[in-house]
């Protein structure tokens, strides 16, 4: 019997975190299967990555639904059909709404490129560099109805004394991939 946990990954962009998690499942470093990728940006690079890993995708355009509740109702049905245990947001640049939270609260986690609660939002690294921050970091947290809010699960910090956001992104990305795999591994090991 397959006792592996089932993960869904939500993304809007490149999907390097998707790939890190999918690769860890493929290698057996994570005792889980990525069973669904949900993407709200048709054309995003993460869709090709999902195809390459043979992961089913649900790609939708939010504008073509009357409301967030309508597309989240469809997503919840799909998550149930796939018996998903854990939802990993990986660059899903959209607030999770009541419909999804009502069904999966406590089972949705997010990764964010700052030491939360500092520097929430879509430009966390650029904002932190502009502020003159010297210690940067990555946070993984449970998702609630607020932007990059919810209880923190894991953080990793790194020093950087410069003014190049691209370099911070490069350093942070490598840490994100390791921290996401390690954290999911710990969360699923119950
Ligand atoms: C990651 O850096 C993640 O921390 C960030 O989006 C990027 C997605 O990269 N998420 C947020 O800023 C959430 N507020 P990826 O598509 O290569 O995984």
CATH of the domain at 68: 3.40.50.170
Could you give the CA distance from residue 164 to residue 19 in angstroms, rounded to a whole number? 25
Dmax (CA) of the chain = 53
Distance 31 CA to ligand 1 centre (A): 23
Instruction: Tell me: pLDDT of 102 over 90.
Output: yes
165 CB near ligand 1 (under 6 Å): no
pLDDT given for residue 190 in this prediction: 56
Cβ atoms of 124 and 112 closer than 8 Å = yes
Distance 2 CA to ligand 1 centre (A): 31
16 CB near ligand 1 (under 6 Å): yes
Residue owning the nearest CA to atom 5 of ligand 1:
91
Which range of residues forms the domain containing residue 103? 5-188
Residue owning the nearest CA to atom 1 of ligand 1:
91
pLDDT given for residue 143 in this prediction: 98
Q: pLDDT per residue over 2-32, tens digit each? A: 789 999 999 999 999 999 999 999 999 999 9
The 3-state DSSP class for residue 137 equals strand
Percent of the chain beyond pLDDT 70?
98
Sheet holding 86-89, edge to edge: 57-59, 32-39, 5-11, 86-89, 108-112, 135-142, 152-159
Instruction: Tell me: pLDDT of 112 over 70.
Output: yes
Instruction: Give the mean model confidence (pLDDT) for residues 65-88.
Output: 98
Is 112 designated active site? yes
Could you give the CA distance from residue 21 to residue 102 in angstroms, rounded to a whole number? 25
Could you give the CA distance from residue 179 to residue 21 in angstroms, rounded to a whole number? 10
112 CB near ligand 1 (under 6 Å): yes
Could you give the CA distance from residue 84 to residue 181 in angstroms, rounded to a whole number? 17
Count of the separate structural domains present in the chain: 1
Residues with Cβ within 8 Å of residue 124, at least 6 apart in sequence: 112, 113, 114, 148
Nearest atom (ligand 1) to Cα of 169: 2
Mean pLDDT across the chain, nearest whole number? 97
The 3-state DSSP class for residue 188 equals helix
Could you give the CA distance from residue 173 to residue 56 in angstroms, rounded to a whole number? 25
Distance 89 CA to ligand 1 centre (A): 9
pLDDT given for residue 33 in this prediction: 98
pLDDT given for residue 189 in this prediction: 84
Residue owning the nearest CA to atom 13 of ligand 1:
112
pLDDT given for residue 1 in this prediction: 57
Nearest atom (ligand 1) to Cα of 18: 18
Instruction: Tell me: pLDDT of 124 over 60.
Output: yes
Omega of the bond leading into 117 within 30 degrees of 0 (cis): yes
Q: pLDDT per residue over 24-55, tens digit each? A: 999 999 999 999 999 999 999 999 999 999 99
């Amino acid at each position: 019997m397959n006792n592996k946990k089932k993960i869904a990954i939500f993304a809007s962009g490149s999907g390097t975190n998707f790939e890190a998690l999918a690769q860890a499942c493929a290698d057996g470093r994570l005792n889980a299967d990525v069973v669904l990728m949900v993407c709200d940006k048709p054309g995003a690079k993460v869709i090709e990555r999902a195809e390459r890993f043979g992961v089913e995708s649900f790609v939708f355009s939010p504008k073509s639904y009357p409301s967030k509740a309508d597309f989240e109702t469809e997503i919840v049905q799909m998550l149930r059909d796939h018996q998903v245990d854990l939802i990993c947001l990986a660059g899903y640049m959209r607030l999770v709404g009541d419909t999804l939270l009502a069904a999966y609260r406590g089972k949705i986690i997010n990764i964010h490129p700052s030491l939360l609660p500092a520097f929430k939002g879509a430009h966390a690294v650029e904002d932190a560099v502009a502020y003159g921050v010297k210690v940067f970091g990555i946070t993984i947290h449970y998702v609630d109805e607020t932007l990059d809010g919810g209880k923190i699960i894991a953080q990793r910090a790194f020093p950087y004394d410069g003014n190049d956001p691209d370099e911070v992104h490069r350093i942070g990305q490598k840490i994100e991939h390791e921290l996401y795999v390690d954290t999911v591994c710990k969360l699923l090991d119950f």
